Amino acid sequence: MLKSLMLGAAALVALAVGPNGAQAQGNAICYNCPPQWADWASQLRAIKADLGITVPSDNKNSGQSLAALIAEKASPVADVVYLGGSVGIQAKAAGVIEPYKPAGWDKIPAGMKDADGAWFAIHSGTLGFFVNTKALGGKPVPKSWADLLKPEYSGMVGYLDPTSAAVGYVGAVAVNLALGGDYGSFDRAIAWFKDLARNQPIVPKQTSYARVLSGEIPILLDYDFNAYRAKFTDKAPVEFVIPAEGSVSVPYVMGLVRNGPNPANGRKVLDYVLSDKGQALWGNAFMRPVLAGALSAEMAAKFLPAADYARVRPVDLTAMAQAEKAFVTRYQSEVR
């Protein structure tokens, strides 16, 4: 995997330097900014239009991005990085991001930013079931974690690899807490994944939005913002379900890569994603922006009712980060 990450990094470097190897102007490299995830496509277009800074899209997930930053620590390629919240804590501990408090910092709630400025939330999402109802072939829409274990959904359930993708690990945390576990023991989640294995789940590593829309993955453990985008923007036959037993909401964060090649542009990008326009773009893509008031009433009306979100609890980012290594070890030895 490391070799492929380095090849991907080389491709990004090629976009950031001129034909004579000179540093290009107006570029910034972002790791984990996939155009199909959280509508990064619109955000990157707006950054180009408003700042004149070109940010190539990048399809790494959070774990792959952290691995690449660590591998490239002596000669960084990226300028900024986007990560699942608990991975931001790991990135700080690994020494690959440096403190920067962007414009709008003081408006970010205390629990949504690192006190030193190493990372800060830009938006959050709720984990649930992203369901292509047409691809179910007449089967009922599952409403609970227990439902996904039923034989009728064999070969229909997908989740991103929890050993590398942040949303995959969030799914493990969600089912574990919903079924009565806690951050100190993932017994409930491991047992659930073992049971699900009998249903031959689909376990990709990268974002799988298109695979749900095509019906290849009828049911994906994913965030509300992707499901709402599919339903309201792409007009797909999609429903989002917050399971009856409960789920979690989690922030996604960004940070400035330590010793990145374009630090000034990297800071401008981080300022932009917290600007009024940047936050409005996240809201228009069905995320909950981190700054209060950035989600319009029109967009909020497209979310599930408040009664459904009452089953959702925010994650404890520090506890998640501390528990991840032990969970990954157990998942690799007992499930995969």
Q: What is the mean pLDDT of residues 260-279?
A: 97
* pLDDT above 80 (res 7): no
Closest C-alpha to 287, from 233, 243, 237, 235 = 233
The 3-class secondary structure across 269-331, one letter per residue, is HHHHHCCHHHHHHHHHCCCEECCCCCCCHHHHCCCCCHHHHCCEEECCHHHHHHHHHHHHHHH
**Residue pLDDT, tens place only, 15-65:** 444 322 324 459 999 999 999 888 899 999 999 999 999 999 999 999 999
CA distance 82 to 102: 15
CA distance 229 to 273: 19
* pLDDT above 80 (res 3): no
Environment class of residue 234 by beta-carbon count within 10 Å: exposed (0-12), middle (13-18) or buried (19+)?
Answer: exposed
Q: What is the mean pLDDT of residues 266-275?
A: 98
**How many helices and strands in the chain, by DSSP H and E?**
13, 10
Q: Which residue has the tokens 């000179």?
A: 22
CA distance 287 to 106: 20
Which one-letter amino acid corresponds to residue 87?
V
Q: Where on the phi/psi map is residue 215: left (φ > 0), alpha (ψ -120 to 50), or beta?
A: left
Which one-letter amino acid corresponds to residue 33?
C
Q: How confident is the model at residue 231 (pLDDT cuts 50, 70, 90)?
A: very high
Percent of the chain with pLDDT over 70: 93
**Residue pLDDT, tens place only, 75-116:** 999 999 999 999 999 999 999 999 999 999 999 998 899 999
**Residue pLDDT, tens place only, 190-212:** 999 999 999 999 999 888 999 99
**Residue pLDDT, tens place only, 128-182:** 999 999 999 999 999 999 999 999 999 999 999 999 888 999 999 999 999 999 9
Residue 233 is given by DSSP the state I
